[in-house]
Homo-oligomer: A and B are copies of this chain.
Amino acid sequence: MTPRLPSPHRPRALAPIARVRGLDYDVLDELLGYTLRRAQVAMFVAFHQATRGMDITPPRFTALVIVGANPGISQTVLGNVLGIARSGAMLLTKWFQARGLIERRRRPRDARAWGLHLTRKGERLVERLKTDVLRLDLRRTRHLSARERRELLRLLEKLAR
């Protein structure tokens, strides 16, 4: 294997989108879209640090938590929670199954749908992930007071409705 030459360019760091000083952002500061995007990227960076090396993305984390809290859930409902099509939920489920984190069981009431369940290994992982992600989430928002944090969640929820 030939050793790869070091890149002459610094790789783009996985970092929040910085505000460029001296730049005119015009109407973007009045709109929620751009700020929302920046906040999301910032949270993603924190998330990535919390799950480093575990190959867990936000949708994967969400899926594990949802299946853990709702054993027997179907792929279609999982897709709804994630906001993706059934085919995507299927791929996601297959990914977990291949890693022994989720198992599919036939349901007596409806032979079309699978019932999704965490394996023992999946349970252990999701427990660890929950504490890690919560810790980083809080750390990322440490500049917000408890009341501000609650208020932010409330307003976002109102917006998403």
Contacts and interface: CB of A to CB of B under 8 A. Distances in A.
Chain A: number of interface residues, binned into ranges:
35 or more
A66 B25 contact: yes
A41 interface: yes
A141 B35 CA distance: 14
A43 interface: yes
B17 A81 contact: yes
A95 interface: no
A158 B111 CA distance: 49
Nearest to A88: B12
Nearest to A62: B34
Contact of A27 (B17, B25, B65): B65
29 contacts: A12-B85, A16-B160, A17-B160, A18-B80, A20-B77, A20-B81, A24-B70, A25-B65, A26-B66, A29-B153, A30-B153, A31-B134, A31-B137, A32-B137, A32-B141, A32-B152, A33-B43, A33-B44, A33-B47, A36-B43, A38-B83, A39-B156, A39-B159, A39-B160, A40-B40, A42-B159, A143-B161, A144-B155, A152-B159
